[in-house]
Every structure is written in structure tokens, then in C-alpha cells.
Structure 1
Amino acid sequence: MNKEAPGNKKIFGLAWPIAMNAILLQLILVIDTVLVTPLGEEALAAMGIAASVAGIILGLLFAFSNGTQLIIAQAFGAGNHLAVSQGFRSGRFVNSVISLVGIIVIFTVSKPLINMIADSESIALMSYHYLQTFSLVTIGVALSQNITVYFNATGNSRIPFYANIIEIPVNVVVSLIFIYGLIGLPELGLVGAAIGSTVAVSCRTLFLLMFYLKQQDEKKTDTQKLTKENVKYHLKYATPIAGTFVSSVIAVSICMLIYAKLGVNQFAALTLIAPWVKISGQLSTAWAQATSIIVGQLLGNKSLDLVDGVISKAWRVSFYISVVIALAYVTMFYLFKLIYPELQQETVDTLWQFVPILFILAFVRTTNTFCGNVLRAGGDATHVFKIHAYTQWLIIVPLSALFVLHWQLSVFWVFALTLLEEIIKSVPFHLRMLGGKWKRSLV
């Protein structure tokens, strides 16, 4: 890398494909939700429970992939091609193990867990059958996400974006066919949605693999055998980075399992809003990740004097992104009646209660996301993990159980815990950023 500070234009060139890639990935569950809405509130509740279980597995995959991404970014910035190759292959091994363990969990542990939390036997059965088929998605995500973060870390974030452009229409078409039994095929309901996702993710994986193999042929990258020491070294630095994501996903999934006790309409509202909130938030996440990749490359290249300038310019842009997200949150509620015409009025009324919370959340979460990603880029992942973990497990999860299971409060107060969490985390995040120690914690 040269010694000239990358500007916002370079960050934007890296960020927009990451944002679109993340949004399209989130659309997997949104598409399933939209397509199965005509099946009724019970089907939505079943998908919500299944998504909570699957979210833990997919969260682990995304978590360790994010760790891999920052490790590769620093190695790439340092010009160490051997370390880039070892980081990629170690990440692939770790993801494969997670996928295998996840599938075992789905077929052994998930059924009694779902039976315990579902409101009825029919919801439990639909949820479990969906999970069984969706387990195949974890294999595709394990492989494709590892290739995705490799391209992101080396500055080729457009390739994963193109892969998702192929994935989405395949998902819609195949899901519709199997959900409703079109062209003479059996009507499978929720299972049909899982089949559509499986086929679509497979297409995405093959597309990414083709480009990755082509690039390796051109570069003739080192292919020495991966050793146990390589994997252990990778885990040593990726685990703290992944720990933040793992803690968040598991905590959110546990909270969603608790929220299943709210009642069908209130839980259906939470199920509907969750993927849309994630999609809107991908703008800030992508900008933060792109900034962290550039920062990681600069630190790997020992260009410490350029880091502050890059962060300062990127920080200002993140505020404008907050405004866009806040407006998007408000606007999407006017579209819900068009997107989900079959929703019961009680579910619609519940959704409208979330508007003021989401508007404020957009600003607080965006700055927290920026801080977290930049701190991890410098290797200060352990502190980021502690901030997330302490807030989630000592405050949010216990309060969720208290609000729902003991006090039986309305869903408005339950959803407000999301905002409380971000407000609490914002203080240590910003103090750590200003301290500057993270710039010297390289992997």
C-alpha cells in the first residue's frame, strides 16, 4: 500500500458492495417471511422460532468469518501473501467444523427445545421441519462466507455482491414453487421456503468458488499444507473478534426464544421487524466494516500516522448514514400493509409501537458499530467483546426474562431493551476509541 491516506471515496468503493451483499444475505429470511405470510400467523411464529435456532449457527459462521476478514486485511496490508493464504484456509477449516456441529445440533437438540417453547404442537412441527431442510444452508454459508471475507479483505468486495444478485431471484422462484406446489410439485409450506434458500445459497457458493479458483490460478498463491499450528494461531486471534458476534447472536436468539411467550401476534410482530431492522442497519455496518478493513491494512503496513485522518473523515459520513437509517425505519412501516396484506390488525398496531424506539436507535447503534469495528481492526477485540458481553448477559438477557416471564409487560417495553443496550454500550466504546491504545494491538 502507498503512504497516502485513503479517502472516503475508497472506503465507499469497498463499502457499497459489502452493504448490498449484507442486505441481500438478510433478504434470505425476509423473502421466506414474505412468501409464507399468506400461510398465517402460526407459520410466521414457527419461522421465528426456527430463525432463532438457525441464527445461532449462522451467527457463529459470520462471527469467525469476520475474524478471518480482519486477519487477512492486516496480512494483505503487510504484503504477506503466505499469511493471507493461511488465514483463508484456516478460516475455511473453522467454518466447516462449525457447520458440521450445527447440523448435528439441529438433528439432536433442536426438537425438544422447540417443543418446549412453541405455543402449540403444530407450530413446533412446522419449525422443526423447516430447520431440518435449512441445515443444508449452513454448509453453503460456511464455504461462501469464507470466500466473501477473503475478497472483502483484499479489496474485491464487488464479487460477493454479484454472487448475491444471482442468489436472490433463484431463492424467490424456487421458494414459490415449493411453498405453494406450483408446476405440479407438492405443496410443502415452510419446508418449501427452506428448499429455496438451500438452492439459492448453493448457486452463490459455486459462483464465488469459480472466481476464487480463477484468482488463485492467476496468482499461483502458496499452497503448502495447512497445519494444526496454523489453525491454532488463527483461532488465537480470530476467537476474540468472533466472540463479540457470538455473544450477540446467542443473546439475541435466547431473547427471541423468551419473546415467543409474548403471544402469537406480538411475537409475529417481532419476527417481522427483526430482519428489516437488520437490513436497514447494514448501511452503517458496511461502512464500519469497510473503514475497519482500510484501517487494518494501514496498521499492517505500519502507516499509523494516516489512521486518525481516515477515521475522522469516515466518522462524519457515519452520522449522515444514521439519518438515512432513521428515515428508512419510519418509512418502512407505511409499506408493511402493502407487503403483508394478510396481517391481522393487532399485529399491525403492534408494529407501529416500535417507531420511536427505532428512530433513536439508528443514531446510537451506528456510532457503536463504527467504534466496535475500528477497535477490532486494531486488534483490540477483547475489550469490544467485554463491552458487548457484559451488557448483554448481565443486563439485557436478565431484563428480557424479567419483562416477559415475570412482569408480563407489553412488547413495546420488551423492544425498548434494544435501545437501552446500545445506550449503555456507547459510553465505554467512545472512551476506548479516544484512548488510542487499540492502534498498537496488532495481530
Structure 2
Amino acid sequence: MSQALLGNRNVFSLAWPIAINAILLQFILVIDTVLITPLGEESLAAMGLAASVAGILVGLLMAFSNGTQLVVAQAFGAKSPLALSLSFRSGAVINAMIACAGILFIFIFGKSLISLISDKPLMIEMSYDYLKIFSVVVFGVSVSQNITVYFNATGRSRIPMYANFLELPINVAVSVVLIYGLLGFTEMGLEGAAVGSAVAVSSRALFLVVFYSKQQAKQIPFDAPALTVTNVKDHARHATPIAGTFISSILAAGVCMMIYAKLSTNEFAALVLIAPWIKVAGHLSTAWGQSTGILAGQLLGNKDWPLLDGFVSRSWRAAFVVATVISIAYISMFFLFEALYPELEEETLNALWLFAPILGVTPFIRTSNTICGHVLRAGGDAKYVLKIHAYTQWFVIVPLSALFVLYWDLHVVWVFALTLLEEIIKSVPFHLRMYSDSWKKNLVTA
């Protein structure tokens, strides 16, 4: 197995389906923004407000799933069917608990939370109606994401990609029909976009469940022992520090988006519009980092210590090619905005163009930081990664966001520039840690 994990070609083979998978997932929100834009800036802002709340719940699921992914990768590298079984099932239990708690939160506290963020009655009602329907998406993600990371960690990242190829056209078709009331259906507006996403994600979850049930015997024995509370706690002990990094990022982003809601409608709409596009291109570097982390975890699980440093170094250097592609993609997308969003007001488009120089530089620093983060987590140094992210986000970015928007009333371009500042601050401790060997630990004992 070791020799097969040494080249960038192997990273690419694993990374490109993960990247496409992530991009297709992000297109759920992109599709909604494109289809909702003709309804006006208020509908677009209402969806962004709901997404800031829903994004926290989905982010929690993604976070713990990423923790599961690296534990499963080491179990796969260690050739331990028992560890594979326990890791997968423990991850499923944790995701189910998060989803149930999140859905209860939406229905009990969702409207009150939105009311704290916005003082516009119509926007509050539209956001909450969208959020209630979006709770179905939360449940679908809890199921599909656990299966997705299992396939990624065992080197079969194309399967989740196929599931998303199924989801995308369903999302488009159902959303268009329900938003605008085609084919005899009632015109639902913003709620129609939520229903389209819910139907599409449910379809993806069903596809993955069926496929996993047919394929599980190849890696996980049917006679695996029953899952215990101790197994779940042990998995959570490994996964929680890994997930903590993602949780901190999602929560900080959610808080910042709530702060940004106090900007003018045009400025907030510009941030809502560009956010999914940034994530779409950024998933290329995330996929490369995830793949490097997965393969590094497999090497660690198989105790291929001497080969690890050379593999990580080659993958790291190749990541700068990925960063160049992302930078070009960022700059190119600004020329598409007028064609994609002809209904946008001039003030919103002008705000978008001011973001271009920042996005041209950010990918190079962010991509290197991403490689560091995933490799450090794969080696068991997740707590250190969590500290870097949490300290930067909560002690620098969130306070500055509040100052820029709530007190200094700065232009939105200064608010957006905080994304670059965040990556610069993180880069120093990340790269210093990578040059040490203290992060190389085992996560699998079974």
C-alpha cells in the first residue's frame, strides 16, 4: 500500500471527486441564489439570513463527519475491520444526535433568533419559513455525510460524487417549478427553493444508503459486535478535537454573517451573493488538503513513518498550482455576475467588484494553511489546529467585524478584507508546527 500513496497523482485521484462533490454540494446554495435573485434583494437577503442559522447546524454535521473521516482513514490504513465498523457506526450515532437537536432548535428557538438578528418583519417571516423547510436538509445531510466520509476515507470518493450528480438536476427542477409555480403548482417563492433543496438532499441520502448497504460487506463484516456507549464516547474523544476546528469556523462565520446583516441591504446582498462562489472555488484547495490528510492518515495507520514526510512535501508543493487555478477562477467569476444576475442593482455590483483584488491574493495563503490543517489533524494534532483557528476567529476576526460594522460603519470592502487578514495570522503558527514532528500520533487502537 505504501508505494501507491507516494505520488501527487494518487492525491489527485482521490481529490478530484472530493472537490467535485463539495462543489456540487455548494451549488445547492448557488442555485437558490440564482433562482431567488429575480424575486428581489429582500428575498435574497432573507435567504442569506436563514442560511446563516442553518449553516451552523449543517456545519456541525460536516465538522463531526470530518473527524470521523480521519479516524476511518487510519482504521483503513491499519487494515482493521473492527475499527472501521466502530468508527462508521459511532459517527452515524453522533450525526443523528446533532441533527435531532438542531431540528428541535429550529422549531423552538429559530424565529426568536432571527428576530434578534433582523428588525424587518417581512424578512423575519420569510427567513423562518425557509428555515423550517430546510430542517429536512439537516436530517438528509446527517445521513449522507457520514456515508460520504466513509467512502472518502477508504479511497472510493467517486461514489459520493455520483450521488451529487443525481441531486443537482433534482434540485434545479423542483426549485424552478415551486419557486415560480410552473406545471400547475402553487407559486411558493423563497419557500419553493427550500423545498427543492430538501427533496434533492433526501434523494442523495437515499442513493448513498442503498449503495452503502450493498457495498459494506467488502470492508465491514456483518457479524461486527454491537455498538456500545463506550465506543461512541471513544470515537467522540478522537473526533471532537478534529471537529472543533470546523465548529469554531462555522460558528464564527455564522456570528459574523449575523453582524453583516446590519449592513445596508445592497452591501449585505453582495456578501450573500459572493459567499457561495468563494466556497465553490475554495473547495479545490480543501479537497486537496482533505486527500492529503486522508492518505497521510492511512500511512500513519499502516505505520509507514519514513514515507510520510516526503509524501506531504510533494503534495504541499503541488498545492500552489491548485491555488493559482483558484485565484484565476475568482477573478474570472466577476465578469459573469452581470450576466448571471441582471436584476441586481448597480450599488450591489459595484460592491462585488471591490472584492476582486482581495480574492486574487487570498488563495495562495489559504491553500497552504489548508494543507497544514488537514495533515496536522490526520496526525492527531487536532487540538493545536483548533487553538489556531479559534484564537484567530474569536479574538481577532469576530471583534473586528463588530467594530467595522456596528461601531465604525466602514464600507463592506474593509469587512471583506478580514478574510485575508485571518489567513495571514493563521499561517505563522501553522507552518511552524508543520516543521516539528510532535503532531505525528496514532488515532486507532482497535
**TM-score for both structures, normalised by structure 2:** 0.98
3-state SS, counterpart of residue 261 of structure 2: helix
Give 1:261-300 correspondences, 5 Å limit.
261-300=262-301
**Alignment RMSD, CA only?**
1.0
Q: In structure 1, what is the equivalent of residue 158 of structure 2?
A: 158
How far apart are residue 439 of structure 1 and its match?
Answer: 1.5
Q: Please tell me whether the aligned partners of residues 380 and 441 of structure 1 are also in contact (alpha carbons under 8 angstroms).
A: no
CA distance in 2, matches of 1:50, 1:237: 32
CA distance in 1, matches of 2:15, 2:442: 24
Q: Please tell me whether the aligned partners of residues 2 and 304 of structure 2 are also in contact (alpha carbons under 8 angstroms).
A: no
Aligned residues: 443
* Superposed CA offset, 1:200-229 (max 9, x none): 011111111111000124554443211000
> Unmatched 5+ residue regions in structure 1?
none
Pair 1:6-2:6 in alignment: yes
Give 1:388-427 correspondences, 5 Å limit.
388-427=389-428
CA distance in 2, matches of 1:139, 1:110: 16
Change (3 A) 1:5 1:15: closer
Give 1:51-200 correspondences, 5 Å limit.
51-200=51-200
CA distance in 2, matches of 1:344, 1:3: 55
Q: In structure 2, what is the equivalent of residue 32 of structure 1?
A: 32
CA distance in 1, matches of 2:388, 2:116: 31
CA distance in 2, matches of 1:145, 1:169: 19
* Superposed CA offset, 1:35-75 (max 9, x none): 11100000110011001000100000000000000000000
Pair 1:251-2:252 in alignment: yes
CA distance in 2, matches of 1:4, 1:186: 55
* Superposed CA offset, 1:374-403 (max 9, x none): 100101000000000000001110111011
Q: In structure 2, what is the equivalent of residue 387 of structure 1?
A: 388
Q: In structure 2, what is the equivalent of residue 346 of structure 1?
A: 347
Mean alpha-carbon deviation: is it higher for 216-225 or for 406-415? 216-225
Q: Please tell me whether the aligned partners of residues 301 and 442 of structure 2 are also in contact (alpha carbons under 8 angstroms).
A: no
> Unmatched 5+ residue regions in structure 2?
none
How far apart are residue 108 of structure 1 and its match?
Answer: 1.2
Q: Please tell me whether the aligned partners of residues 82 and 222 of structure 1 are also in contact (alpha carbons under 8 angstroms).
A: no
**TM-score for both structures, normalised by structure 1:** 0.98
Amino acid at match of 2:172: V
CA distance in 1, matches of 2:217, 2:440: 35
Q: Please tell me whether the aligned partners of residues 85 and 222 of structure 1 are also in contact (alpha carbons under 8 angstroms).
A: no
* Superposed CA offset, 1:292-318 (max 9, x none): 100000000000111111111111110
Amino acid at match of 2:420: L
Amino acid at match of 1:334: F
3-state SS, counterpart of residue 334 of structure 1: coil
How far apart are residue 5 of structure 1 and its match?
Answer: 4.6
Change (3 A) 1:229 1:37: same
Identity %: 63
Amino acid at match of 1:77: G
Q: In structure 2, what is the equivalent of residue 224 of structure 1?
A: 225
Amino acid at match of 1:122: L
Q: Please tell me whether the aligned partners of residues 238 and 443 of structure 2 are also in contact (alpha carbons under 8 angstroms).
A: no
Q: In structure 2, what is the equivalent of residue 238 of structure 1?
A: 239
Amino acid at match of 1:137: V
